[in-house]
């Protein structure tokens, strides 16, 4: 696999509206775990299939793609939501904290200028190569967990919703 791989979801376009609605109905509840508080916004919001039953087919599809990319079977998928109101951005980070083998982002709701995924490809030069990817609703971007990445500022008047994934051995 190169630095990243784009895959258009076969099911996402049917699920995105339902996922967005369920997310908005649940994400502010007191019993929902949230982490990575930066600039007054939690970057990671953990809702599961109990809160959003429509996630089941999307998780299965994401896991299937990850298994094909890695040529492995029986992967487990962990996921979280990233909700970016206007003016928000996601700080530079990687996903190689534990036993992750592959990471991905899936786009539920994006509008023009709602923030691009910026990944930094390691190279033989002193500085990594910067790759900027414009998000598309219904699309997955898969990348290695040690790839540094961030999301540029949401300069649109609407909130953006994406789902981060990490895949590891079951």
pLDDT of residue 39: 83
Contact call for residues 140 and 7 (beta carbons, < 8 A): yes
- C-alpha distances in angstroms, 98 versus 44, 60, 91, 141, 145? 17, 22, 19, 20, 10
Q: Which of 1, 19, 21 is nearest to 9 (CA)?
A: 19
Contact call for residues 155 and 84 (beta carbons, < 8 A): no
Alpha-carbon torsion, ordered 60, 63, 69, 75, to 10 deg: -140
Alpha-carbon torsion, ordered 62, 59, 163, 36, to 10 deg: -110
**pTM for the model:** 0.95
- Report pLDDT digits (tens) over 16-68: 999 999 999 999 999 999 999 988 899 999 999 999 999 999 999 999 999 99
Q: How far apart are CA 159 and CA 170, in angstroms?
A: 34
Contact call for residues 132 and 50 (beta carbons, < 8 A): no
DSSP 9-64: -SSHHHHHHHHHHHHHHHTT-TTSEEEEEETTEEEEEE--TTT-TTHHHHHHHHHH
The domains found in the chain, sorted by start residue, are: 4-169 (2.60.120.620)
- Report pLDDT digits (tens) over 101-158: 999 999 999 999 999 999 998 877 788 889 999 999 999 999 999 999 999 999 999 9
Q: Quick one: pLDDT band at residue 99, thresholds 50, 70, 90?
A: confident
According to DSSP, the β-strands at 129-133 and 90-93 are unpaired
């Amino acid at each position: 696999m190169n630095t990243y791989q784009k895959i258009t979801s076969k099911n996402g376009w049917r699920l995105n509206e339902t996922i967005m609605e369920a997310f908005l109905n649940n994400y502010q509840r007191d019993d929902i775990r949230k982490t990575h508080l930066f600039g007054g916004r939690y970057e990671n919001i953990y809702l599961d299939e109990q809160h959003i039953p429509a996630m089941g087919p999307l998780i299965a599809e994401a896991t299937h793609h990850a298994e094909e990319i890695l040529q492995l079977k029986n992967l487990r998928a962990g996921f979280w939501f990233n909700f970016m109101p206007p003016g928000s951005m996601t700080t530079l980070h990687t996903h190689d904290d534990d036993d992750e083998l592959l990471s991905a982002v899936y786009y539920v709701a994006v509008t023009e200028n709602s923030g691009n995924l910026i990944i930094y490809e390691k190279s033989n030069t002193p500085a990594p190569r910067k790759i900027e990817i414009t998000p598309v609703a219904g699309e997955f971007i898969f990348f290695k967990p040690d790839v540094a990445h961030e999301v540029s500022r949401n300069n649109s008047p609407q909130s953006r919703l994406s789902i981060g994934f990490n895949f590891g051995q079951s």
